[in-house]
Amino acid sequence: MYPMKHIDNIPSTPGKFKMEKPPYNRLRIHISLAKLTFWSFVFLGLIFVFFYRSPAASSSSPVSSDLSRRSLRTNSYGGPAWEKRIKASAKVRSRNGISVLVTGAAGFVGTHVSVALKRRGDGVLGLDNFNDYYDPSLKRARQALLERTGVYVVEGDINDATLLKKLFDIVQFSHVMHLAAQAGVRYAMENPGSYVHSNIAGLVNLLEICKSVNPQPAIVWASSSSVYGLNSKVPFSEKDRTDQPASLYAATKKAGEEIAHTYNHIYGLSLTGLRFFTVYGPWGRPDMAYFFFTRDILKGKSIPIFEAANHGTVARDFTYIDDIVKGCLAALDTAEKSTGSGGKKKGPAQLRVFNLGNTSPVPVSDLVSILERLLKVKAKRLVMKLPRNGDVQFTHANISSAHKELGYKPTTDLQTGLKKFVRWYINYYGNGKKSVQ
């Protein structure tokens, strides 16, 4: 395994030993024993290095570096001070408050949901691995915002079962808001493994922990409007077919919905899936079109305006972050308790899925026109055919079910929402002068 050098006491070419010179032989024996002892220590050292350092070394391999975006390795945790911060953050401060573990807390939606929960008196603990899918400094800035609000974010991975179990040992969470995921449609063509690692393996690991703890928490988690895929019936309803995903991202979210059904059926976990429709707003994701359009318009760069076949319009059901947050909190508040105990189902448990959209699709070209007016800069438009990379021509949410069951009613139109986003963007990035990736 490792090359081992040692001194052989028997010469490779036998010579003549002169018995009349014993001091010389004793000297050779002493030297050989010293060298043998030295190389034995070297060999033992190599064994130590191999067994105790190889996991860390392997993390730098090409395969592991891909998964490092959702790494199993967790920063150091534990100790009285660490547990004290967790308990303080998760402490319920309102009479009818809930205690929520928010995964992906330093993400776009996670940050806004965590702040809203904390401000109304709920106990909130965040979990995020701060991967580098996009600029981690933005996530750190969100973390600082959460810290100021009183939300502690544990740095760790949802695939780390030991860490998750430890968090549930410290806090008896009544709810989990599962928002951690590998996002983005196009990135799946570059790093497909990260989607399986986060959106499927990570979800299963979380559900395994949740079904084993007692009492089991109610779980609300982020699915996606992408599950509707190539469905041409509009608006999209929760009862429509979702078996034609147009991207690997969509396929993993669809798989997540089936996995949720399984854990609900076998273990009695209360599960609510939320299909988000193109969420935008302050502290948003740099990989979203409205975000990088703003950046590139300010920098004088060309922006791609996609059109479908036969010059068809590409449109999105843009949903402002505040409306999404209201839907998330309503889903938590109406979630029924899980029915399992000790990993065994005691009775039927709640299983739901809701669209959270704005119900008014807007052509992407109109989005650009609004940004031009707000930024007072003319965009350099580059019209291109919609690539076959997982993007779909349009999204349009039917929210009647969410309205009936959650009282969900979006109130922010695109013009108003983008105005708030642009104000934040210029304040944060300095009118485009501060670099953003």
The residues annotated with a catalytic role in the active site are 249
Q: d(Cα 112, Cα 127) in Å, to the nearest integer? A: 14
397 in helix, strand or coil?
strand
Q: d(Cα 141, Cα 143) in Å, to the nearest integer? A: 5
The CA dihedral of 398, 401, 407, 409, to the nearest 10 degrees, is 0
- For every residue of 13-77, DSSP letters joined together read S-----TT-HHHHHHHHHHHHHHHHHHHHHHHHHHHHHHHHHHHHHTTSHHHHHHGGG-S-----
Q: d(Cα 39, Cα 211) in Å, to the nearest integer? A: 52
Q: d(Cα 155, Cα 125) in Å, to the nearest integer? A: 11
User: Are 177 and 127 in contact, with CB atoms under 8 Å apart?
Assistant: no
Tell me how far CA of residue 90 lies from CA of 170, 250, 306, 312, in angstroms.
Answer: 10, 32, 45, 49
Tokens (6 digits) for 291: 């975000």
181 in helix, strand or coil?
coil
Instruction: Count Cβ atoms below 10 Å from residue 14 Cβ, excluding itself.
Output: 7
Query: Helix-strand-coil percent breakdown of the chain, rounded to 5?
Result: 45, 15, 40
Q: d(Cα 147, Cα 153) in Å, to the nearest integer? A: 8
99 in helix, strand or coil?
strand
Tell me how far CA of residue 204 lies from CA of 97, 260, 272, 390, in angstroms.
Answer: 27, 9, 15, 24
Q: E strands along 77-181, which residues?
A: 99-103, 123-128, 152-155, 175-178
